[in-house]
């Protein structure tokens, strides 16, 4: 075999190795923030806010202690009215309705449970439950 032939052969081998499609495999392994957020939501939030973000029934009515049940996060709720920063703080530090008669945090703080990146992923998942109008509204809240 001449040198040229060998070079051509090596060239073909290198080129065909490059054509082995590794991209689709990588894409399958990559998890989007929404998917990561959905997983976290199901583990940490669904027990109170519902498997698909539907909230508790009668979520607008406070109980005897003046505490509000967990609201929906889908388009029927009001989560979309809050900016990213507000949502982040509510999840990290917990939240209670200011009119609650007890000082208890009805919405528990996730500071010691979720990393900042995980909180942001959950917020991305919540956004996937909103209408396009709600997403637009919320984007304006973010630049205020
Ligand atoms: C133990 C039950 C419970 C768990 C678990 C829980 N929440 Fe809540 N959450 C509540 C309650 C109750 C409220 C309403 C508090 C109030 O307004 O007084 C609330 C309120 C909120 C709010 C404010 C909603 C709004 O529209 O004002 C956000 C955002 C929120 N929760 C996100 C989450 C996320 C994300 C998780 C999971 C990481 C989670 N919650 C887990 C009970 C829970």
* Tens digits of residue pLDDT in 4-22: 766 776 666 556 565 665 6
**Dist. CA 95 → ligand 1 center (Å):** 7
- Give, in order, the Cα–Cα distances in Å from 1 to each of 9, 10, 15: 10, 12, 20
CA atoms within 13 A on the CB side of 132: 0
- Contact yes or no for 94/125 (Cβ under 8 A): no
Residue 109, ligand 1, Cβ within 6 A: no
55 and 77 Cβ atoms separated by less than 8 Å: yes
- The reply to whether ligand 1 has any atom less than 6 angstroms from the CB of 59 is no
Nearest to 105 by CA among 50, 46, 65, 54: 65
What is the pLDDT at residue 102? 82
Residue 95 in contact with ligand 1 by CB distance below 6 A: yes
Residue whose CA lies nearest to ligand 1 atom number 25:
79
- Model confidence over 65-119: pLDDT tens digits? 889 999 999 999 999 999 999 999 999 999 998 888 888 899 999 999 999 999 9
Task: Name which of 24-33, 80-89, 104-113, 127-136 the model is least confident about.
Answer: 24-33
């Amino acid at each position: 075999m001449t040198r040229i032939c060998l070079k051509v052969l090596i060239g073909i081998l290198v080129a065909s190795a490059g054509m082995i499609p590794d991209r689709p495999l990588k894409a399958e392994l990559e998890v989007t923030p929404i998917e990561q957020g959905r997983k976290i939501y199901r583990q940490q939030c669904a027990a109170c806010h519902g498997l698909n973000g539907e909230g508790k029934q009668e979520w607008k009515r406070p109980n005897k202690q003046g505490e509000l049940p967990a609201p929906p996060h889908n388009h029927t709720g009001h989560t979309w009215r809050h900016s990213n920063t507000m949502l982040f703080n509510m999840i990290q530090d917990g939240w209670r309705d200011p009119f609650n008669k007890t000082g208890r945090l009805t919405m528990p703080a996730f500071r010691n449970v979720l990393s900042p990146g995980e909180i942001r992923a959950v917020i991305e998942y919540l956004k996937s439950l909103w209408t396009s109008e709600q997403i637009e509204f919320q984007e304006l809240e973010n630049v205020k």
